[in-house]
Amino acid sequence: MREYLLTLCITAAVTYLLTGPVRKFAIVAGAMPEIRARDVHREPTPRLGGIAMFFGLCAGLLVADHLTNLNQVFETSNEPRALLSGAALIWLIGVLDDKFEIDALIKLGGQMIAAGVMVVQGLTILWLPIPGVGSVALTPWQGTLLTVALVVITINAVNFVDGLDGLAAGMVCIAATAFFLYAYRIWYSYGIEAAAPATLFSAILMGMCLGFLPHNMHPARIFMGDSGSMLIGLVLAAGAISVTGQVDPDALNLYVGSEKEAVHQTVPVYIPLLLPLTIIAVPAADLILAIVRRTWRGQSPFAADRGHLHHRLLEIGHSHSRAVLIMYFWSALIAFGALAYSVNSASMWIVLGVVFLSAIGLLLLLLPRFTPRAPRWMERFVPPRYRRRGSVAVAEPAVPSSADAPAQASGAAREADARIPHGSTALSELEKAAAPAGFRAHERERA
């Protein structure tokens, strides 16, 4: 565990330290697109945050290669090299899109090529653990098609949800944390070395997201762009492919008694292949709804709009920060609910806990204008909007009396008249808009 934590910290530190220089580079390179109709930010913000995340990925893999225990992953498996090759290709496509905004079909082709590169180097699905049946071996073509489909779907699911400050990085970090705990349990509890690459990928992905989040929280100073969203989507898919398609359920027979029970233990990882990922079920649902919505309207599935889940949360009255936290809540509930189910699927308390937390989540959705108040002893540690009224004295601006208003208005008018050039009879529209209210009333009386 210490080596995984060290790898995570190194990845997070490199990503965090490089994001500032990358932001300056993005500004100089002109990777600051104008505000679009579907955007929720109010001023141009630089992209290319994926550059820092990619170098964080490289640093994490480099450190892991020189550690005593994690070095075995590189010696016994070609999956880290396959991940790096696919990540480099998808990152390069994302950088070009952040700068030049390439066509959506070209990006889709690049995603398929990146997935194919990983398949050629051995990162592919060999069999499927089907509940009640057992492990079903796949032909090379079946494994290749399923692997490419999973990579493409996961990349676009993460890319679609990247619409609010800190949303994509936080949700992927939550998913990676749940996936790390599951893969680590298979690796160290059952002693199955085939789960080691997935554990490493999840730890590095957590570091990438945690290192980038401080720069990306609302209000964001930099966006990850497609170079970042497609990159973390590919790394997350690589972990799911590794632990699902490489870990043989027969290896669990020694620990759980039978093949069917072993397959039952891998259900939380098998289900992501169909949804495609329960650990990012919220982005996946957003992806499916977006495709259906745009196709129903006769638009291209890749046409951007303001119908995503986070846009709808803003429309019903949630603030930017609350919309992000609600999406975090649902992602964590689904991801860690699946993790708890994999540990003890017979416990009714897990089901009751998920139902209770789901009810709380629905309550938060239905109360967009409800603002929780912190206890008085915590008010000095929380933002002002969470403090009780009267806790912090706020100086109110003095309101002039009705007797003083005409004098102030006439004084403002005299000051404005003094600024008018000699011989001028009217002000420009810009000057009128900038003039005090009293002077505008004076102008109306003169007219």
Residue 130, beta-bridge partner list = 134
Does 417 appear as a known binding residue? no
Return phi, psi of residue 67, to 5°. Answer: -95, 155
Q: Give me the helices (H) in 246-347, please.
A: 253-256, 259-265, 267-270, 281-296, 309-315, 320-343
Assess contact for 14 and 56: CB atoms under 8 A: yes
DSSP 423-446: T-----HHHHHHS-HHHHHHHHHH
User: Tens digits of per-residue pLDDT, 239-272?
Assistant: 888 877 666 655 555 455 444 455 555 554 454 4
Residue 29, beta-bridge partner list = none
What number is the average pLDDT over the span 111-117?
94
Higher pLDDT, 197 or 418: 197
Task: Give the Cα separation of 8 and 228 in Å (integer).
Answer: 17
Q: Of 180, 200, 181, 247, nearest to 72 (Cα)?
A: 200
Residues sharing a CB contact under 8 Å with residue 100, sequence separation 6 or more, in sequence order: none
pLDDT at 424 over 50: no
Residues sharing a CB contact under 8 Å with residue 159, sequence separation 6 or more, in sequence order: 168, 226, 229, 230, 233
Task: Give the Cα separation of 246 and 79 in Å (integer).
Answer: 10
Angle between helices 2-29 and 196-216 (to 10 degrees): 40
User: Tens digits of per-residue pLDDT, 296-329?
Assistant: 777 766 666 555 665 666 666 667 677 788 888 8
pLDDT of residue 408: 45
Residues sharing a CB contact under 8 Å with residue 303, sequence separation 6 or more, in sequence order: 294
Burial-class residue 296 by CB neighbours within 10 Å (0-12, 13-18, 19+): exposed
Q: What is the DSSP letter of 243?
A: H
For the ranges 321-330, 346-355, 373-382, the maximum mean pLDDT occurs at 321-330
pLDDT of residue 252: 54
pLDDT of residue 110: 94
pLDDT of residue 377: 74
Cβ of 311: how many Cβ atoms within 10 Å? 16
Query: Which residue type occupies 428?
Result: S
Task: Give the Cα separation of 107 and 113 in Å (integer).
Answer: 10
Burial-class residue 433 by CB neighbours within 10 Å (0-12, 13-18, 19+): exposed
Question: Cα 159 vs. chain centroid, distance in angstroms?
Answer: 8
Higher pLDDT, 284 or 232: 232
Return phi, psi of residue 134, to 5°. Answer: 120, -165
Does 344 appear as a known binding residue? no
Task: Give the Cα separation of 157 and 272 in Å (integer).
Answer: 13
b (16+ CB within 10 A) / e for 115-134: bbbbbebebbbbbbbeeeeb
Assess contact for 176 and 183: CB atoms under 8 A: no
Assess contact for 99 and 29: CB atoms under 8 A: yes
Task: Give the Cα separation of 261 and 272 in Å (integer).
Answer: 19
Task: Give the Cα separation of 120 and 371 in Å (integer).
Answer: 52
User: Tens digits of per-residue pLDDT, 23-77?
Assistant: 999 999 888 766 655 555 567 788 889 999 999 999 999 999 999 888 888 988 8
